[in-house]
Amino acid sequence: MDKLGLKEGEVIQHSMISKSIERAQKKVEENNFGIRKRLLEYDDVMNSQREVVYKKRKHALFGERLEVDVLNMMYDSVEELANDYYGSGMFEDFNMELMRLLSIESPVNEEEFGKLKPEEVVDRIYQDMINGYNRKVETISKQAYPVIKDVYEKKSHQYTNIVVPITDGKKMYQIVCNLEKHIKIKVRNL
């Protein structure tokens, strides 16, 4: 602008300069639009992730679909672990990771691990985990049900919810349960 002899605040009326400014402004606006669009896409991803986390949190807090969420997490863990080690020839490391992360030994031996498809390995390990999970649920149920039944029969008019202490020999858990709901579930499962 100095070369053209224009001073500060003077109106620019040359068509070449006006078109150049228009093109520059258009590029800046397109760039800003792209940035806003990308930001909205990121926001949508974060919002969907937030919804999933809050839904799982709600399930955990209120005991809804808790078993389904736990089983899904177990399957995802097994699948990730099997896919990480499949075809690597590091069966011992795979077995150690199973012990470290999931507290189970591999139900497949080294030879089977190399021959089976990853999905078959995942299914066998997952089934082994389900069996262990069901044993723990049954053990906890055997410990908790007599307490729940006793309180329901004697003091259901006084209490709606109770806290049942459960132990696995190492840790003590306090489980809150609705008396009527758990008695109905137990009767339905008999």
**What DSSP string describes 149-161?**
HHHHHHHTTT-SE
pLDDT of residue 185: 67
105 and 99 in contact (C-beta within 8 Å)?
A: yes
Regarding pTM above 0.75, the answer is no
Phi and psi at residue 178, in whole multiples of 5°? -85, 125
Phi and psi at residue 16, in whole multiples of 5°? -65, -45
Sign of CA dihedral 147, 153, 158, 161: positive
pLDDT digits (tens, 9 = 90+) for 84-116: 887 777 888 888 888 888 778 888 888 887 788
pLDDT of residue 161: 79
Per the prediction, the chain carries an average pLDDT of: 81
As a whole number of angstroms, the distance between CA 171 and CA 37 comes to 50
Residue with tokens 């723990």: 136
As a whole number of angstroms, the distance between CA 153 and CA 116 comes to 53
Cα angle vertex 86, ends 82, 88, to 5°?
Answer: 135
Select the highest-mean-pLDDT range: 16-20, 125-129, 151-155: 125-129
CA atoms within 13 A on the CB side of 32: 6
pLDDT of residue 2: 66
As a whole number of angstroms, the distance between CA 176 and CA 62 comes to 10
Q: Where are the domains of the chain?
A: 65-189
pLDDT digits (tens, 9 = 90+) for 132-181: 888 887 887 787 778 777 877 887 777 777 777 777 677 787 777 777 77
pLDDT of residue 148: 77
